[in-house]
A and B are shown apart, each in its own frame.
Chain A
Amino acid sequence: MSIQDILQTIVNSLPTIGRYSLITIGIVLIFRTTATTNFAQGLIATFGTFLTTWAALTYTALPLWLCLAMGMTASFLLGMFVDVALIRRARHITPSGKQMITMGVLMILVNVIPVLFRDITLWTRPGKSFSTAILTFNFFGYTLNITEMGLLCFVTAVVVLGAVFAALKFTKWGLGVRATAANESVAQMLGVNTRVITAFSWALAGGIAALGGFFTGAGTALNVTLMGNAQIYGFLACVLGGFGSFPAPILGAVIIPLVNNFAGNPNLFGPNAGMWQNMITFIVILLLILIFPNGLLGKKYIKKV
């Protein structure tokens, strides 16, 4: 395996890194503010993606970014709704109970979305299909290729994540999120409006995930399990990086696509590598989690009786 090949594999992982980190940041925002592992995250994103597609197919005059904004708004509102209607009222329930609530939401959404968007199966837009151009650039003498959509996805993810981290660090909302994450009841006592903070975190998580869903679905056949893999990998990225901090899960979201693409590289593991690539990825992740049960960057919390 040449250096050219290694570099190309890394570049090939960039779009996936972008998509997974968009999902992961939502999962970790929700987990830190409400101690809920949201199993419905992927489905909330899928809802936005379907709405984007529906808008793009129905109102062909609209520019695509406006359709995307509609889809993101839909996911934004759906995320907020799940928090306001269910999770807020379940504050006294154990974390695994909340987890099961989101599993129930998953079961509802997975059956409702195909009914709501019955006719939409393919991400096509007459006359305005997605760019399939491949960009070639030179990197220290090695020529590398990346699709235009893929590059757009990665750049968008970097910009969005940068904005979220900046907001967490510098805005009042970010301070509120960090305070809520540290201890919800104390934050409430000190005058943080935790209801608004959590509702907005859920909403933001939904909106960003819809962006990830857009890049996943763009140019492919849509079905309700569109975000299934991204959701599972997003979760595993959180456990792998460590749920304890905001940036750590993004490390997981960077590692997983790299492992996946190297495992599926035909020059490295022979022509059948693509068949086993997901399985090898899962096994590698599980082994890493087994070695670092608190995450790569996580720390251990000691519970008192």
Chain B
Amino acid sequence: MQNQYTLTSTGRIKKIIRHPFAGFVLIGVILISLQLIAILSGGAWPKSSMLNGFASVMIYAIVGYGFTYLLGYAGLASLGTAGFVGLGAYITAYVLRNMPGVPYIAVILGTLLISLILGTIVGFISLRIEGIFLAIVTLGLCEIFYQLFSNWLDFTNGPNGASISKYPIFQTFFNMSRRDAQSAFYILLVFITVGLMMLTYNLGKSSTGRAMLAMKNSSSAAQAMGISLLKYRLLAFLLSTAYAGLGGVMFMSYLRYSAPQNYTIMFSLNILAAVLIGGSRNLIGTFLGCFIVFGMTPIFLQDITLFRENPWIINVTIGAIIVMVVMVYPGGLVQLANNVKSFFKTTIADRRLYKYGTDD
């Protein structure tokens, strides 16, 4: 007789498929295999512009995961994201250009530390100001960062933009060629993205995530239940700024160029759109949202003449999708997928009922 605790092979596979991390790992495997195909085929397909597109989707997704804490869990809409990403990027550029001796991991940690210090200040502002006004105040914050990036010439090189000449670690430490370093960094980026997905998922399911959710639904009720608003709002902010700072480091390290024009209010709006479209608490949804908002143009649409000549079409569509998602479909793409799934399930069940009848 079979022990009920040992699983059959199909049961084992089912268990793996249903594991919450399966989707994350699948995305990672797909992204890495694209790079491997490119290496094996000598760059014939996927083209390097396409891979760069996927890399930037990953970078924006990292920022987006930070934003899910704010929008999805804590229910705060902040528009200061662009500033923190820019800060991360510019600190990285400055350190890598002017202090070549500093190890890359120290750059990452230093950037995170500075982001966290600034995030604490912004977090305290957020505690003083209620929901919708926060977006307005952080809009001002975003402008402060933009002015800083445009005018502090010694630090950011102003409107000309800052650039670094080599990929960090792989080109500076391992002495790889430029092409190899780019591939290696891409794979590193995949690992970071998937790792952060897992981390974000676990944090969201932990007591921290639950407390934030309670706070989102009703701050007064959450307070009455003994949840400290100060602690969790601040935590949401700190997490979001840390992710944004890391996104900035990756932005600079992979794309190796950034200008103040990158970090305008449109960047923050795009991140918000991406998180919203995907479904504000679902990480795979956020990834798909980033893919739709940031990745469609470099990956596919560049090759289509209509979209290359009229880049506004895709942006208008994104704007329309935001309106649609908020008004008609608050769950985003994930809700759409679930609805399709449940539609098939009910159809199959109905068909079975029709074919075989009920039990008696």
Contact = CB atoms under 8 A, between A and B. Distances in A.
A34 interface: no
Nearest to B319: A107
A282 B316 contact: no
A108 B320 contact: yes
Interface string A88-118: 0110010111111101111110111011000
Q: Identify the 9 closest CB pairs spanning chains A and B, nearest first.
A: A107-B319, A104-B322, A108-B319, A104-B323, A293-B128, A111-B312, A279-B147, A111-B315, A235-B136
Given A107-B273, A275-B151, A95 B319 contact: no
Contacts of B34: none
B122 to A, nearest CB: 10
A100 B136 contact: no
B147 to A, nearest CB: 4
Interface of B: 75, 77, 124-125, 128-129, 131-133, 135-137, 139-141, 143-144, 147-148, 151, 218-221, 224, 265-266, 269, 272-273, 276, 310, 312, 315-316, 318-323, 326-327, 330
Given A111-B312, A236-B140, A285-B140, A104 B319 contact: yes
Contact of A101 (B148, B265, B310, B326): B326
Given A111-B312, A278-B143, A289-B137, A101 B128 contact: no
A64 to B, nearest CB: 30
Nearest to A286: B140
Contact of B77 (A100, A238, A283, A289): A100
A108 B269 CA distance: 12
A303 B133 contact: no
A96 B79 CA distance: 12
21 contacts: A90-B326, A96-B75, A96-B132, A96-B135, A100-B322, A101-B322, A103-B269, A104-B322, A107-B273, A107-B315, A107-B316, A108-B319, A111-B316, A232-B140, A239-B136, A278-B147, A282-B144, A286-B125, A286-B144, A290-B124, A304-B220
If over half of A's interface residues share one DSSP class (helix, strand or loop), that class is named, otherwise mixed; here it is helix
Contact of A239 (B124, B133, B148): B133
Q: Specify which of B140, B141, B276, B330 lies most central, judged by the most chain A CB atoms within 10 Å of its CB.
A: B140
B265 to A, nearest CB: 8
A112 B312 contact: yes
A276 B147 contact: yes
Given A86-B323, A93-B326, A108-B320, A290 B125 contact: yes
Contacts, number: 124
A100 B272 contact: yes
How many of chain A's residues touch chain B, expressed as a range?
A: 35 or more
Contacts of A286: 125, 137, 140-141, 144
Given A103-B269, A106-B269, A303-B220, A232 B139 contact: yes
B147 A114 contact: no
A89 B143 contact: no
Given A100-B276, A106-B319, A279-B151, A114 B129 contact: no
Contacts of A285: 140
A239 B125 CA distance: 13
Interface in A24-81: 37
Contacts of B276: 100
A133 interface: no
Contacts of B266: 110
A95 B327 contact: no
B256 to A, nearest CB: 27
Contacts of B131: 95-96
B136 A283 contact: no
B327 A282 contact: no
Contacts of B221: 305
Contacts of A98: 326
Interface string A231-259: 01001101100010000000000000000
A106 B43 CA distance: 39
Contacts of B316: 107-108, 111-112
Given A108-B320, A235-B136, A238-B136, A290 B269 contact: no
B225 to A, nearest CB: 10
Contacts of B218: 305
A232 B133 contact: no
A9 B273 CA distance: 41
Nearest to A102: B323
Interface in A95-150: 95-101, 103-108, 110-112, 114-115
B296 to A, nearest CB: 15
B267 to A, nearest CB: 12
A110 B318 CA distance: 12
B77 A99 contact: yes
B137 A37 contact: no
Contact of A293 (B129, B312, B321): B129
A111 B144 contact: no
A232 B143 contact: yes
Contacts of A90: 326-327
Given A111-B316, A235-B139, A283-B144, A103 B125 contact: no
A279 B144 contact: yes
A305 B224 contact: yes
B269 A107 contact: yes
Given A96-B132, A305-B218, 12 more contacts: A37-B135, A96-B77, A99-B135, A103-B269, A104-B326, A235-B139, A238-B136, A275-B151, A279-B147, A285-B140, A290-B124, A305-B220
Nearest to B132: A95
B125 A107 contact: no
A104 B293 CA distance: 13
A119 B170 CA distance: 48
A37 B133 CA distance: 8
B136 A104 contact: no
B22 to A, nearest CB: 31
A269 B79 CA distance: 30
Nearest to B223: A305
Nearest to B221: A305
Contact of A93 (B128, B129, B321, B327): B327
